[in-house]
């Protein structure tokens, strides 16, 4: 037992070193990383962990708060830096690998080492763990929920009483609190699988009283609280954040019919490097497996896990294809069943080939250095680089940074400890949204120490607006295509 504990401790230590290496070397890249980090910082600054907000004027309910809470916790632990902001994803990545190992021990005990090795070295999940978004945490909770289901299924499907069901529903509650309805997609696969394998009556056994209570409290408690305290928010959640994302292109996230083919398929093929060839070999088995009725009958009567893994991948993927809102990270959770399915179908066993072992070891060593390479890449929307330019040209440092007619660098809050806002000069053109106040409204507040950031083509127009209000505006510096403007009153 002691030897086993030592091995587990060494494995976790190695995974933490692998995941945390260079995790904070790169600045925050806008807009996602800056947005999530800024909202988490606002929670720490204001002490309000219920209402996510960009600044004093603009709340933000587009996502549930679990990711913001996690980022805030990382920053509280490690300080106001990129390491703290990205700590939750590094830990979630490690926890997901261990969860994949736990699932693999039940599905394929003879080579349970293989799926977690695949997941740990897949290019896409490893890269995603270095980006501050919801998706790496979501992947962990979905994997945890499936682990609970697998434990229940192997334990004899005791109706509604197994602690494994509490794990399953708790995982889905955390997934819902991380990203809302998309977090429940594996549940669809679970329910379809149960019906195919054992019939409709068995489906009722999934609904544990303790599990359902936990799911409702964890998954819906925050939603209920903010809906009660913010009238009209239910309509926003249902129409804007659910219906419009699925059925319309209102969010401008690749709504064209062909986009799933140019986004999701390449992400799967390149994201599974260095295991893409085993994946392709597994895909060659499709005509003799999932397209064959005898295969389904044989598997559902005997070894059922390949059927479940296929459903776990394909049913969510169909939803993502049909949805009108599409981004690469949406399918990150599918890399868990991909690792398990490749391990089951690709016929890979322990290899003693020295070349294979050396190449895989070199890949594992190289992956963390990709994060370091990211810090050397001159990404134009790097908040750390813009903060450096501001420090070099603006003294004293601004207490508020206002972006005019351009997307904000929310991450500046991490580097300058300032409030970040966005204003518009085009309200009269019908382009105003609840997100924006106008530049005239911002100027009327007469707040000292405000820095305005404007893109090059808009500089003269913004200066003219300021002068109309009796303010002497002048350019104090620049960063790429953005100019820094301050006011003398």
Arithmetic mean of pLDDT, 448-470: 92
Q: Does residue 433 contact residue 425 with C-beta atoms inside 8 Å? A: no
pLDDT of residue 433: 54
And the tokens for 418?
């300032």
- Domain contains 116: yes
Structural domain contains residue 39: no
Residue 380: HSE in the Cβ half-sphere, 13 Å Cα cutoff = 6
- Domain membership of residue 290 (yes or no) is yes
Residue 136 CA to chain centroid, in angstroms?
5
Same domain, 153 and 183: yes
Residue 447 has what pLDDT? 82
449 band by pLDDT with thresholds 50, 70 and 90: confident
| CA-based torsion, 313, 318, 324, 328: positive or negative | positive
Between the alpha carbon of residue 214 and those of residues 23, 46, 138, 172, 423, the distances in Å are: 33, 29, 17, 10, 42
Residue 299 confidence class, pLDDT cut points 50, 70, 90 = confident
What residues form DSSP beta bridges with 401?
A: 420, 451
Both 456 and 359 in a single domain? no
**132 CB-side CA count, 13 A:** 35
Helix (H, G, I), strand (E, B) or coil at 303: coil
Residues 421 and 289 in one domain: no
Mean pLDDT along residues 5-23: 93
- Of 349, 19, 309, the closest CA to residue 190 belongs to 309
Opening angle at CA 248, ends 244 and 252, nearest 5 = 95
Is the distance from CB of 87 to CB of 36 less than 8 angstroms? no
H-run or E-run covering 402: strand 400-404
Residue 234 is assigned to a structural domain of this protein: yes
The alpha helices in 351-474, defined as continuous H runs, are: 354-376, 383-393, 412-416, 439-444, 459-468
| Domain match, 250 and 150 both | yes
CA distances from 257 to 247, 262, 319 (A): 12, 10, 13
In the structure encoding, which two tokens stand for residue 98, read together?
């261990």
Task: Say what the pLDDT of residue 434 is.
Answer: 52
Q: Mark whether 91 and 200 lie in a shared domain.
A: yes
Residue-wise pLDDT for 307-349, tens only, equals 999 999 999 999 999 988 889 999 999 999 999 999 887 655 5
**DSSP type of residue 242:** I
Q: What is the pLDDT of residues 44-68, one digit of tens each?
A: 999 999 999 999 888 999 899 999 9
Predicted TM-score (pTM) of the model is 0.93
Are 309 and 444 found together in one domain?
no
Residues 6+ apart with CB under 8 A from 262: none
- What's the confidence (pLDDT) of residue 441? 87
Q: Rounded CA gap, 209 and 276, in Å?
A: 42
Confidence of residue 357 (pLDDT cuts 50, 70, 90): confident
**What is the arithmetic mean of pLDDT over 394-409?**
94
Over 70: is that where the pLDDT of 244 sits?
no
Average pLDDT over residues 360-372: 95
Residue 438 lies in a domain: yes
Same domain, residue pair 340 and 402: no
pLDDT digits (tens, 9 = 90+) for 185-235: 999 999 999 999 999 988 989 999 999 999 999 999 999 999 999 888 887
Single out the residue in 373, 395, 412 at which a domain terminates.
Answer: 373
- Residue 251 has a pLDDT of 59
CA neighbor of 179 nearest in space, from 60, 63, 62: 63
Cβ atoms of residues 66 and 177 within 8 Å: yes
- 172: containing domain: 2-30+61-373
Buried b (16+ CB within 10 A) or exposed e, 395-418: eeebebbbbbbeebbbbbbbbbeb
Q: State the Cα torsion 343-345-348-350 to the nearest 10°.
A: 60
Q: How confident is the model at residue 417 (pLDDT cuts 50, 70, 90)?
A: very high
**Entry field: residues in the chain:** 489
Q: What is the pLDDT of residues 15-46, one digit of tens each?
A: 999 999 999 999 999 989 999 999 999 999 99
What 3-state class would DSSP assign to 61?
coil
Q: How many helices (H) and strands (E) does the chain have?
A: 23, 6
Same domain, 176 and 304: yes
Q: Please indicate, yes or no, whether residues 209 and 325 belong to a single structural domain of this protein.
A: yes
Please report whether residue 50 resides in a domain: no
Beta bridge partners of 453: 403, 484
C-alpha torsion angle, residues 277, 131, 68, 390 (rounded to 10) = -170
Q: Specify whether 392 is located in the same domain as 313.
A: no
Q: What are residue 184's DSSP bridge partners?
A: none
Q: Is residue 42 part of a domain?
A: no
Domain C-terminal end among 329, 352, 373: 373
| Cα–Cα distance for residue pair 24/285, rounded to 1 Å | 42
Whether the CB-CB separation of 145 and 97 falls below 8 Å is answered with no
Specify whether the CB–CB gap between 396 and 390 falls below 8 A: no
Mean pLDDT for 419-443 is 74
Domain count, the chain: 2
Per the domain annotation, does 378 fall within a domain?
Answer: no
Q: At what angle do helices 114-121 and 335-345 cross, to 10 degrees?
A: 130
Contacts of 178 (CB under 8 A, 6+ apart): 63, 64, 66, 67, 134, 137, 138, 141
What is residue 352's predicted lDDT score, i.e. its pLDDT? 56
The least confident of 220-224, 299-303, 370-374 is 299-303
- 327/462 same-domain check: no
Structure-block tokens of residue 62? 């587009």
**pLDDT more than 70, % of the chain:** 92
What is the structure's pLDDT at 319? 94
- Which of 373, 396, 426 is the endpoint of a domain? 373
Domain co-membership, 85 together with 122: yes
pLDDT at 242: 66
**Three-state SS at 57:** coil
């Amino acid at each position: 037992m002691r030897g086993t504990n030592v091995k587990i401790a060494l494995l976790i230590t190695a995974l933490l070193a692998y995941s945390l290496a260079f995790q904070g070397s790169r600045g925050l890249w806008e807009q996602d990383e800056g947005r999530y980090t800024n909202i988490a910082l606002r929670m720490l600054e204001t002490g309000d962990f219920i209402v996510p907000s960009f600044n004093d004027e603009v709340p933000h309910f587009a996502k549930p708060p679990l990711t913001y809470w996690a980022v805030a916790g990382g920053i509280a632990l490690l300080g106001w830096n990129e390491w703290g902001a990205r700590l939750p994803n590094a830990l979630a990545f490690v926890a997901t690998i261990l969860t994949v190992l736990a699932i693999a021990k039940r599905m394929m005990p003879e080579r349970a080492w293989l799926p977690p090795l695949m997941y740990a070295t897949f290019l896409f999940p490893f890269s995603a763990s270095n980006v501050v978004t919801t998706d790496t945490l979501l992947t962990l909770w979905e994997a945890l929920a499936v682990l609970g289901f697998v434990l229940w299924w192997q334990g004899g499907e005791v109706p509604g009483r197994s602690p494994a069901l509490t794990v399953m529903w708790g995982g889905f509650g955390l997934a819902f609190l991380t990203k809302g309805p998309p977090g429940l997609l594996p549940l669809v696969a679970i329910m379809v699988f149960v019906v195919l394998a054992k019939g409709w009556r068995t489906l009722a056994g999934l609904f544990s009283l303790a599990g359902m209570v936990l799911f409702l409290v964890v998954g819906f408690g925050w939603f209920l609280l903010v809906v009660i305290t913010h009238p009209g928010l239910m309509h926003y959640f249902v129409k804007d954040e659910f219906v419009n994302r699925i059925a319309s292109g209102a969010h401008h996230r690749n709504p064209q019919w062909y986009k799933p083919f140019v986004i999701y398929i390449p992400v799967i093929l390149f994201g599974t490097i260095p295991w893409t060839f085993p994946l392709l070999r597994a895909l060659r088995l499709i005509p003799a497996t999932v397209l064959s009725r005898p295969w389904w009958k044989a598997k559902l009567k005997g070894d059922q896990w390949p059927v479940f893994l296929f459903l776990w991948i394909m049913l969510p993927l169909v939803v993502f294809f049909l949805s009108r809102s599409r981004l690469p990270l949406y399918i990150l959770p599918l890399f868990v069943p991909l690792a398990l399915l490749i391990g089951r179908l690709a016929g890979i066993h322990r290899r003693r080939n020295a070349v294979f072992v050396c190449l895989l070891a070199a890949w594992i060593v190289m992956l963390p250095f990709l994060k370091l390479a990211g810090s050397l890449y001159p990404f134009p929307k790097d908040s750390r680089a813009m903060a450096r330019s501001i420090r070099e040209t603006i003294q004293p440092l601004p207490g508020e940074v206002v972006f005019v007619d351009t997307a904000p660098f929310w991450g500046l809050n991490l580097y300058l400890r300032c409030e970040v806002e966005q204003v518009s000069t085009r309200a009269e053109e019908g382009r105003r949204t609840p997100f924006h106040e106008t530049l005239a409204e911002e100027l009327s507040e007469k707040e000292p120490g405000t820095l305005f950031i404007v893109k090059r083509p808009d500089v003269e127009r913004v200066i003219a607006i300021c002068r109309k209000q009796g303010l002497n505006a002048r350019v104090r510096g620049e960063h790429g295509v953005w100019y820094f403007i301050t006011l003398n009153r």
